[in-house]
Structure 1
């Protein structure tokens, strides 16, 4: 049976492409917002979801860090997708005649230098997703409005590609997470080395507290892949930390490190233990 997989955006979005990379025959469920995606997984309306978590050029999708903590989901896999942006518009449009360029704010940020250099007079307009921007541009048909999206979106909505390779850095990869309901025994996606994601809040905001929390991993020679911080709402100067450590939750060293970390934190949550993801398209530089 084909898995039912949710993603944020409309058909033709990069998130849909990410879904196709890891699920060959998925029944896809486009969703208007990331909140909708997480709720669909949490409520078992779908069995899986694929969401972006960070881009190599424009940084983290911070709202999804919050959703990972507040929804009953678990991370079961990840992937890195190379992002190629195209500038598209209705037939007959020209780059010189553009007045508005629409896309998701992440895509606009990833193409900021190119847009400033080639369409300096066009106003960037943020939209909920890249494919949705392409659809609206196609429906309105205005030759002065373009979208930044994937070539797949241009083909789906019948738009002309005016330029491609807009991303300001060729190493423009987005990391996506594969999610499942927290209360299901979902098999992992992928076959790479294991990785575990956690979030925690320190007990005291005192000198050396963060160092001590990271030392629990260093003492056991565990490699940290990433650390991210988010402010605690209503508590200025205090933060919640998100951390990726190489190793499986069942590994003795990882388990002992987390037990140690619990002693010096007021809150610790495991977000998932899963294989390190592949890079798509296969063979892309990373």
Structure 2
């Protein structure tokens, strides 16, 4: 029997269904991006009341230099650290915007963070905007203060960033790209300071964990900070000659610190994957390898997860990632399978990345099949794959 394929390219499936044959793909893409889900899984979209505040100031950056330690264009920053842009918080977001021609990209952290490196690789001529948290970066895109947000989603050593998976559901943004960034953790300190002079080291807890062997040999006390570049900023601003930081090459250049040792991470193959978020989805193409990210939940039934994954295997679609997260709004499912009362089980959301473009019929067919036993389904984005780490 022929499968009736519905088109749910960029929205939730299960409420309104539009036949592929009835759509002009490019013309109706905007309609599809505005679909909402009433399945009871996705929480209501938060209405943000923007207070009047200071206009955002762009941080113009250049493409990161991965070949050496000195970046002349940042050499003046450390002379007056107060001139550095302050990270945006949710309460700072203003309706003011820069109408310049450059793409504006938000990231979590302060100048010199790995997220800013990823932004400059993805968009070399962009203006970067630091934010004090991941949610502030999401909101900056939603409020049209910036054009993109660059968000880390997983690391080969630390695993998935579950907080950002939750934010993908809370905010109606679309994944439009990805960047795989190789991590180069550097031990740095004020000019003239030697390794032997250090007593403590600052950095993000994940970075400190990834450099366990080197830091243990040096006998340094480890102190957690919000991000790696923030640690370099603290060492520079406090003129702490007995304190080092673990951060990137660019962070050392920006804050005027000397690199005492590069690549101090325990695992050389330390790569972080970042995703790019936008208000509007990409138009799927087939001229290069694409990846599609979806999230769904399943009705109760024997072997239902197996059936969900089989829809891709039956069409020779390669799954590159699967992640499960308990549903926040409905964490437990009660099943009355005996006379003694109901059994309680976690109710999950499943995040899947698969290697296919939504412009390909087999991808649409697979999601049409998945819809038959999914209680909720949303396409998070279809975007070109990044096949090589930078």
TM-score (norm 2): 0.67
**3-state DSSP of counterpart to 1:51:** strand
Mapped partners of 1:194, 1:105: distance in 2: 33
Q: Is 2:297 the partner of 1:201?
A: yes
Structure 1 residues 143, 276: closer, same or farther in 2, change over 3 A?
same
Gaps of 5+ in 2: 1-100, 333-344
Mapped partners of 2:297, 2:221: distance in 1: 41
Mapped partners of 1:259, 1:95: distance in 2: 59
**3-state DSSP of counterpart to 2:388:** strand
Gaps of 5+ in 1: 282-286
Q: Which residue of 1 aligns with 2:249?
A: 151
Moved over 4 A (4+): 185-189
Mapped partners of 1:268, 1:105: distance in 2: 35
Q: Is 2:260 the partner of 1:162?
A: yes
Shift in Å, 1:114:
2.8
Q: Which residue of 2 aligns with 1:172?
A: 270
Corresponding pairs, count: 276
Corresponding residue to 2:368 among 259, 262, 265: 259
Shift in Å, 1:254:
0.9
Q: Which residue of 2 aligns with 1:284?
A: none
Corresponding residue to 2:307 among 185, 204, 212: 212
Residues 192 and 278 in structure 1, CA contact (< 8 A), matched pair in contact too: no
Corresponding residue to 1:13 among 102, 113, 122: 113
After superposition, the C-alpha distances for 1:199-235 in whole angstroms (9 at most, x for unaligned) are 111212x542221110111111111011111122332
Structure 1 residues 65, 21: closer, same or farther in 2, change over 3 A?
same
Shift in Å, 1:280:
4.5
After superposition, the C-alpha distances for 1:104-153 in whole angstroms (9 at most, x for unaligned) are 2232232223323x23x323222221111110111112222211100110
Structure 1 residues 209, 97: closer, same or farther in 2, change over 3 A?
farther
Residues 21 and 280 in structure 1, CA contact (< 8 A), matched pair in contact too: no
After superposition, the C-alpha distances for 1:178-212 in whole angstroms (9 at most, x for unaligned) are 1111xx355689x74011000111212x5422211
TM-score (norm 1): 0.90
Corresponding residue to 2:356 among 247, 250, 253: 247
Residues 192 and 277 in structure 1, CA contact (< 8 A), matched pair in contact too: no
Quick check: which one's strand share is greater?
1
